[in-house]
Chains A and B, each alone.
Chain A
């Protein structure tokens, strides 16, 4: 088992390294150009935010409409701190500070609302996100609706790539851990949870805080990459964009999130040419995917290397995520 596990891990590592080398070569020989790099970075940033949101929805069974607010906190933290402290250490510090503030706000919102059933988290987070944005518009230090620009650039695609991989590894391991599986199993049934002696609210709040921190990191990365922030970037629509990635990929399926983030990123590239028609096409894609794949593109299953490469018929259910959602 251990040897098999090692082999499995090594194969993943090999695949990820190969992807990294592939992108590196494509950039070195300038085949995908600056635009390709931009697209890869933006996909990576959306990915980090979406994985965080997937954790929240998958773990709590409630959805959040406030991811934009947490991204905004991270973005402005990076914007303000790296402007004052323009070094890579300042940047890393700003990501940590942004994550911390965002996590604290999430804690304050999550503790009361995650206790409730129904769509209350959605409404409360929608409200919080809008409040954050309105405060940013009206504060002097954030320079109001114009936002901040000329933010030092520290983000390159390598950094986003590595961070995305780290985030995915951490989240996947947490979801597959014993407590992660337990939460998912009893998520929708408080009584079962109580009888198992699990404090579901505690884990839901933890997932929510973790999601908020990841959103803040994504926001910080984007601020440094685009080199400007403005409150218009973090409206309700931004939360929706991330939510769509998660649901289209399949709630609880991290690989689904990865695949959808990439597909939607590439779709955006194509749709840029369609002008006003672009959002019409996007809307139709959403409706059609939902009607034909209501559980998302990958449903609740995870892409499993073990199955693909090492399996000869037998089932390894420890890799199939059991977080089925009905």
Chain B
């Protein structure tokens, strides 16, 4: 029994990172209907920025975390400006390919300049294990969960309460109408990328600290999983992304716990497909009838 609870905790920790990534996916998709394949690579770069701030500049972990979020936010805006904005009125699939191009560029650019070998992430915070009965959790795991939840709350406040947040929702609901209401669409989209990238970077730095290794391809698989998480929860919905992230984390852990580790990813995809068949817009999504 305690094993099951421990596995559940493992799943939630793993899922927290997926959730952080899925939030970025979902926001970008909500606003410009783009599957941003480069998102996982921003997460990777976030981890490298964190590495740089801690290893080279010897900054405190939390300062490094905030700084790398800030730098990644700028990077996200830059990517949007260079690779997506010129394609605003092009077919959606053209933007998708451009996103793939950015993804390849970031992955292979890093691997060209820094080698594709793994780098050990500096252990800025010493791991301390806490034992509660037979359960075990470390300070870093707690840090991951609490950072994820804090950032999600912060994001909800931004989206619900601020002027920019309202603009984001407006652009996402109806871009044409938003323009008529005097909303600067370009600025709003730019802001969305900044927020999404900052969240991804936070995930990257936390993962770097937790697993102690980073490499140029580290964003590939989590990127796809986070995308799946966003769809599972209901793409475009912030609570959906969080839910989807945790769900996938728990699912993965549980399939391993029951001895299906060979089919870990297959189970996740199978459940995704089944859910889509019954609820095409994801768990939290509302079924919209086509307007006639």
Chain A partners chain B: yes
User: Residues on A close to B: CB < 8 A?
Assistant: 57, 63, 109, 112-113, 116-117, 119-120, 122-124, 126-128, 130-131, 134-135, 137-138, 190-191, 236, 240, 243-244, 247-248, 251, 276-280, 282-287, 290-291, 294-296, 325-326
> Are A279 and B107 also in contact (CB < 8 A) when A122-B35, A244-B100, A287-B102 are?
yes
B186–chain A nearest beta-carbon distance, Å:
16
Closest to B232 in A: A123
B160–chain A nearest beta-carbon distance, Å:
25
Contact of B91 among A116, A243, A251, A286 (CB under 8 A): A251
Residues of chain A with a CB closer than 8 A to B292's CB:
191
A117 to B281, CA, bound (A): 10
- Chain B residues within 8 Å of chain A by Cβ, number: 42
B117–chain A nearest beta-carbon distance, Å:
12
A-B CB contacts (within 8 Å), total count: 117
Q: Which among A127, A279, A296 has the highest number of chain B CB atoms within 10 Å?
A: A127
Contact string, B86-102, partner A, CB cutoff 8 A, digits 1/0?
Answer: 11001101111110111
Interface of B is mostly: helix
Contact of B97 among A116, A117, A248 (CB under 8 A): A248
Closest to B272 in A: A127
A132–chain B nearest beta-carbon distance, Å:
9
Q: B290 contacts the other chain (Cβ, under 8 Å)?
A: yes
Closest to B112 in A: A276
Closest to B103 in A: A283
17 more contacts with CB within 8 A, not counting A126-B224, A290-B101, are: A57-B93, A117-B290, A123-B231, A126-B269, A130-B266, A134-B266, A135-B266, A138-B263, A240-B100, A279-B107, A280-B112, A285-B101, A287-B105, A291-B83, A294-B94, A296-B94, A326-B91
User: Residues on B close to A: CB < 8 A?
Assistant: 35, 82-83, 86-87, 90-91, 93-98, 100-105, 107-109, 111-112, 116, 224, 227-228, 231, 262-263, 265-266, 269-270, 272-273, 276-277, 280, 290, 292
> Are A295 and B109 also in contact (CB < 8 A) when A134-B266, A290-B97 are?
no
Residues of chain A with a CB closer than 8 A to B97's CB:
243-244, 247-248, 286, 290
Contact of A120 among B82, B83, B94, B276 (CB under 8 A): B276
